[in-house]
Homo-oligomer: A and B are copies of this chain.
């Protein structure tokens, strides 16, 4: 029963992300926060988020020092906002690259799968929330927590109204 709930939560997360695709990935660097838009490659069955990335880009250095990240998706057109908190890791496993690779990536990695800079950034989801403003003024929220993976407990008491308070 618990597994079923988790499946439906991951499905909901996937549907919300599919609507937007482009995430803002927020990383920490000393005191500062940085963000940049990233095209989402996949949301896996455990609710983790995958992006193709350049193994040698500046943000990888930041992530090695501090892997705590936040991934947010905003869809102003239908007033839906998703916020995912997780731990980032760099994945260079060839079979995983192959699994998620699509030819559109050639725009950034001309050599495709053979590009030595091609890598994946995996965000292992610790907590995911969303605000759905289309239903009732953005006060609805859900907490999608990977209890099975992280061992954390759902805590729905941390949030009330979300938007203006």
Task: Report copies per complex.
Answer: 2
Whether A73 contacts B74 in the complex (CB less than 8 A), given A37-B163, A57-B165, A81-B37, comes out as yes
The reply to whether the CB of A48 lies closer than 8 angstroms to some CB of chain B is no
Given contacts A76-B20, A77-B77, whether A165 and B34 have CB atoms under 8 Å apart is: no
Would you call A108 and B165 a contact (CB within 8 A)? Answer: yes
Q: Is A54 an interface residue (CB 8 A)?
A: yes
With A32-B85, A58-B158 in contact, do A74 and B138 touch (Cβ < 8 Å)?
no
A148 at the interface (CB under 8 A from B): no
Contact of A38 among B36, B54, B109, B164 (CB under 8 A): B164
Q: Which of A97-140 contact B (CB under 8 A)?
A: 105, 107-109, 117, 131, 133, 137-138
In the complex, are the beta carbons of A85 and B37 less than 8 A apart?
Answer: no
Chain B CB within 8 A of A91 CB:
no
Is B108 within 8 A of A35, CB to CB?
no
A–B Cβ pairs within 8 angstroms, 20 of them: A20-B74, A20-B76, A22-B81, A22-B163, A28-B28, A32-B85, A33-B33, A33-B70, A33-B85, A34-B70, A34-B83, A37-B74, A37-B138, A38-B163, A39-B163, A39-B164, A51-B164, A76-B77, A108-B161, A117-B165
